């Protein structure tokens, strides 16, 4: 069995233009986010993997990562997983992650989604994951493709579209589906699934 593991990536937060050897990527220090226990609290910290890091920028990244985890944990306090989110909860969490990505482009973070998954664990010995690696990209996609007004007016949209969102985004079919959804939102879930499958053919 191969021991190769693909590192999770999330847009240009990791690699400019999806390339590990682009000029933009090579100019950035490569780092890994971890946590340390201090006085009963888990604090985000940055481990440099490659390249020269600016201490002030590293401190800003650590603080931002810690604030992001705290904010996501608060949003997910009363849900078992991202699938149990209300639409507004999913939208707010997507906004939190998207804002972090946009504001922290000075480093290549090789384990961002894994870090979020690990730091939002709950239960005995933190055994239960609430947010999985693919969820970060999915939540950003939800935030970017729907307005706050959309998710308030159609509170069931996240439950319906969540599992197929990334496929619809890749196929540029989100707007087409949502236009249909606004007329047909009262129909059974299976009808919506068939509609999305049809758009993805």
pLDDT at position 20, please? 59
Q: Looking at the domain assignment, is residue 36 inside a domain?
A: yes
Strand-strand pairing, 30-38 and 108-109: parallel
Per-residue pLDDT of the chain (201 residues; tens, 9 = 90+): 434 344 444 444 555 455 555 666 667 788 888 888 777 777 888 877 666 667 788 888 899 999 999 999 999 988 888 888 999 999 999 999 999 988 888 888 888 888 898 888 876 666 677 888 889 999 999 999 999 999 999 999 999 999 999 999 999 999 999 999 999 999 999 999 999 999 999
Q: Looking at the domain assignment, is residue 196 inside a domain?
A: no
Q: Looking at the domain assignment, is residue 188 inside a domain?
A: no
Q: Looking at the domain assignment, is residue 197 inside a domain?
A: no
Q: Looking at the domain assignment, is residue 195 inside a domain?
A: no
pLDDT at position 162, please? 93
Look up tokens 């991202």; give the residue.
Answer: 82
Q: Which domain holds residue 97?
A: 11-146
Q: Looking at the domain assignment, is residue 40 inside a domain?
A: yes
Count how many domains the chain has: 1
Q: Looking at the domain assignment, is residue 79 inside a domain?
A: yes
Judged by phi (left if over 0) then psi (alpha if -120 to 50, else beta), residue 18 lies in left
**CA 194, 199, 144, 7 torsion-angle sign:** positive
Q: Looking at the domain assignment, is residue 175 inside a domain?
A: no
d(CA 63, CA 70): 11
């Amino acid at each position: 069995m191969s021991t190769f593991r693909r590192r999770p990536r999330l847009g240009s937060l990791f690699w400019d233009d999806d390339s590990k050897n682009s000029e933009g990527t090579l100019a950035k220090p490569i780092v890994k986010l971890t946590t340390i226990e201090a006085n009963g609290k888990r604090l985000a910290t940055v481990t440099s993997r490659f390249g020269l890091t600016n201490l002030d920028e590293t401190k800003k990244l650590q603080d931002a990562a810690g604030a992001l985890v705290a904010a996501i944990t608060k949003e997910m306090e009363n849900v078992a997983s991202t699938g149990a989110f209300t639409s507004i909860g999913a939208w707010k969490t997507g906004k939190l992650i998207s804002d972090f990505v946009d504001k922290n482009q000075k480093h290549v973070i090789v384990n961002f989604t894994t870090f979020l998954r690990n730091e939002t664990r709950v239960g005995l010995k933190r055994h239960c994951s609430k947010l999985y690696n693919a969820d970060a990209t999915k939540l950003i996609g939800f935030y970017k493709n729907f307005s706050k007004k959309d998710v308030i007016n159609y509170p069931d949209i996240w439950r319906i579209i969540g599992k197929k969102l990334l496929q619809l985004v890749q196929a540029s079919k989100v707007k087409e589906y949502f236009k249909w959804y606004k007329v047909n939102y009262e129909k059974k879930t299976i009808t919506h699934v068939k509609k999305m499958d049809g758009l993805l053919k």
